[in-house]
């Protein structure tokens, strides 16, 4: 995207980088100020399904065999919608993941995960505000209401990885803003330009 902006605006590389950082900062502020919680109860009183998973971004060797550690990211996606969250986490322990689940996933949600041990206590979080089922890959378990439900979040993470791999480079400090941009784009869909102008007007009133 930066190369395209630079070509079309005839801007210098440094100017383009600064504008792209500004744009991502706007996206990050919108996500922080208006978090879009997932799941809950639908209009029929049934629990909405949210699939959760964690994935590692950018762990690979680079520059003559040096190891690049990468970033662990917790992901959640609401079944049947584009609503999602992708949050960088320092580790995958229950102590780290459970507060994030409570922050982003509404009470009453039916959470679907793999069998990762830190998820074992989900049904006991806050005295049982969630129900929980596990996808057991080796047993070919498929959720009856949405057979593609776990594939969906895997595909979403793969899309994020590909996009960030093209844009992110090696900057550790900008990683969170790239994640926020991806979440913002998923949230607004095809209305990106108009929604961005509204966000700028709201954050920088005349």
Tens digit of each residue's pLDDT (9 = 90 or more) over 145-199: 544 555 555 565 555 555 555 554 546 778 888 888 988 988 888 899 999 999 9
Res 142: pLDDT: 43
Res 63: pLDDT: 52
Calpha distance 1→167 (Å, rounded):
7
What is the pLDDT averaged over residues 22-32?
93
**Burial status of residue 31 (CB atoms within 10 A of its CB: 0-12, 13-18, 19 or more):** buried
Tell me the domains of the chain and their CATH numbers: 2-203 (3.30.420.10)
Edge-to-edge strand ranges of the sheet holding 49-57: 84-89, 71-78, 49-57, 110-113, 131-134
Residue 38 binned pLDDT confidence (cut-offs 50, 70, 90): very high
Res 139: pLDDT: 45
CA 182 to chain centre: 7
Higher-confidence position of 173 and 39:
39
What's the full length of the chain, in residues? 206
Residue 55 binned pLDDT confidence (cut-offs 50, 70, 90): confident
pLDDT > 90: percent of the chain:
36
Mean pLDDT for all residues in the chain: 81
């Amino acid at each position: 995207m930066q190369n395209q902006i630079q070509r079309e605006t005839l801007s210098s590389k440094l100017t383009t980088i600064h504008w792209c950082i500004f744009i991502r900062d706007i996206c990050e502020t919108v996500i922080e100020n208006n978090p879009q919680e997932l799941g809950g109860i639908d209009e029929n009183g049934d629990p909405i399904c949210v699939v959760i998973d964690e994935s590692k971004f950018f762990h690979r060797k680079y520059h003559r065999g040096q190891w690049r550690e990468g970033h662990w990211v917790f992901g959640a996606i609401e079944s049947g919608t584009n609503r999602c969250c992708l949050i960088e986490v320092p580790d995958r322990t229950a102590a780290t993941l459970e507060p994030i689940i409570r922050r982003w996933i509404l009470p009453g949600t039916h959470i679907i995960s793999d069998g990762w041990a830190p998820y074992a206590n989900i049904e006991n979080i806050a005295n049982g505000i969630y129900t929980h089922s596990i996808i057991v890959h080796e047993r070919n378990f498929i959720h009856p209401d949405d057979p593609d439900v776990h594939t969906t979040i895997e595909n979403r993470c793969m899309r994020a990885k590909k996009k960030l791999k093209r844009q992110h480079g090696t900057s550790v400090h900008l990683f969170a803003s790239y994640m926020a941009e991806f979440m913002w784009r998923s949230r607004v869909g095809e209305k990106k330009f108009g929604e961005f102008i509204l966000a700028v007007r709201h954050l920088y009133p005349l």
